[in-house]
Structures are given as structure tokens and as C-alpha cells.
Amino acid sequence: MMRLKKLYELLFNLYGPQNWWPVDEEYHRKKGTDKREEVIIGAVLTQNTSWKNVERALENLKREGEFSLSFIREVNMEELKRLIKPSGFYNQKAERLKDIAHFLNPTHRVKTIQREELLKVRGIGKETADAILLYAGDRLNFVIDKYTQRFVGRFLRIRGNYEDLKSFFEESLPRDLYIYKEFHALIDEHGKRYCRSTPLCGECPIKDICLSASPSF
DNA sequence: TACCAGGTGGGAA
DNA sequence: TTCCCACATGGT
């Protein structure tokens, strides 16, 4: 079986660095806000939503509000819903953002918070928790999403639940933050281009190493 | 028109 | 435990 690290290198050579998580560095420099809070807000807004729609919501927040948890805490609920509306599921997401913003107050710093604590917050599931820990907290937590499950299912014939796959990646890869961040983003990029739910295997540039001749999911 | 997108929580089986 | 559904906007 092709080693995971080799697969990472293959995708990296194919697509180049993805530089996730995208944040507006200049905005945070000027405003003196914490870019990690933009990651947290984006992680909730992107739940089952295309990033394009999340960007619209983030633009609204930038224009009429602020990328900060203190803003989320203070803003009126109806106003928050209006701002994040383009990202869909805005009723739930507004409530979740409020919950998270109150939970991640200054006594709970992202750099030291435990995964189990994050998972207790309503609206933070495993994927969102790991995305926050990895991209906002620089913690070695590999993020598993639908693309990742599809990818290892097809390319490596490996299936399992969230924790199984997370352990597989974490035990197989070097403990390197850059690789964790890039590999997850690269898998998503490949998933968007070719390894879709209805895959474009004929056009896939790495179909030769795929173990799935007839993808079933 | 139908499907999908950087998921989660809750209830039924 | 596993499966199914609601949650909602916007692109293809």
C-alpha cells in the first residue's frame, strides 16, 4: 500500500501549498484583532457549506461588524443572523457562534484548551473541534471530513469511523503541523476537483495509484 | 431541476 | 450503535 506521506507529497507536487486557514492578515494587523478568532468563526460558518458562501458571510462581518469573538458576544442575535445569512443554516449557526464566543472567553485560550472541552460546546462536533485545534491552536489534531473519508476509502481502501481515521493519519504521518494543515487542505482540493461524490476518475491525474476501480461512495 | 457544499444534534429503530 | 432528518443559502 502506498504510504500516506507519499500520497501527501504527490498531492503537494500536484496542487502546491494551499495555505489553510485563509484569514485576512492585514485586517487583523490594522484592527488589532486575533486572527485565530476568524478561524473559529469560519469553522462554524463552513459546516456543510461551500467556502464561497462562507466568504460572503465573512465579508458582511468585516464590513458591518468584526472578526472577533467579543463582537459575536455583543452583537444582537437578529443582526448576527442577518450578517451570516449567506452561509446558510443561519439560525443554528448564530446560536452556535454565541455559545462558542461565550465559552471561549479569556479563561479558555485556544492554545491550551482540550479537545474534550471543545466537544462539550453545542455546535462543535469532532471535525469543527479538530479544525479549530489545528488551524487556530496549532495543535497536532488531524481533521477528518467527508472528502478525507472518501479519499482514503477510494485510494487506500480504508474505511472507519472518525476516530479510527484520525488515529490512522496521526500514527502514519510525521508529527508536523505544516503537513497536517496542508494534507487536509490538499485532500479537500483533490476532492473538489476530481474525487467528488460522483467522481471524475477519467480526468483524475493520480488515478493510476487509486485502489478503487469502481468507487462506491 | 436536482444535487452538493471545508457538519451537527436529536430522535427513532 | 447506526440511520435518518432538519437546518438554508448559493453555485453548477
pLDDT tens-digit readout, A172-203:
999 999 999 999 999 999 999 999 988 999 99
If one counts the domains in chain A, the total is 2
Query: Measuring from the CA of residue A184 to each C1', which nucleotide is nearest?
Result: B6
My answer on whether A98 and A118 are in the same domain is yes
Whole-number pLDDT of residue A1: 56
On whether the CB atoms of residues A182 and A20 are closer than 8 A, the answer is yes
Is the predicted pLDDT of residue A64 greater than 90, yes or no?
A: yes
What's this model's pTM, rounded to 2 decimal places? 0.94
CATH number at residue A109: 1.10.340.30
Which residue, A64, A73, A71, is CA-closest to A95? A73
Is the predicted pLDDT of residue A81 greater than 90, yes or no?
A: yes
Is A192 inside any structural domain? Answer: yes
Please report, for residues A96, A166, A212, the alpha-carbon distance to residue A160 in angstroms, rounded to integers and kept in the order given. 28, 9, 16
My answer on whether A72 and A127 are in the same domain is yes
Distance CA A48 to C1' B4 in A: 9
Distance CA A73 to C1' B10 in A: 26
Q: Is the dihedral of CA A214, A126, A131, A172 positive or negative?
A: negative
Residue type, A197: S
Q: Is the dihedral of CA A165, A166, A170, A171 positive or negative?
A: negative
Strand C positions within 7 A of protein Cβ atoms: 2, 7-11
Say how far residue A17 (Cα) sits from the centre of its chain. 16
Where in the sequence is the domain holding A151, given as residue range(s)?
Answer: 4-19+141-170+180-209
Distance CA A123 to C1' C2 in A: 21
Is the predicted pLDDT of residue A216 greater than 70, yes or no?
A: no
pLDDT digits (tens, 9 = 90+) for A83-140: 999 999 999 999 999 999 999 876 667 788 899 999 999 999 999 999 999 999 999 9
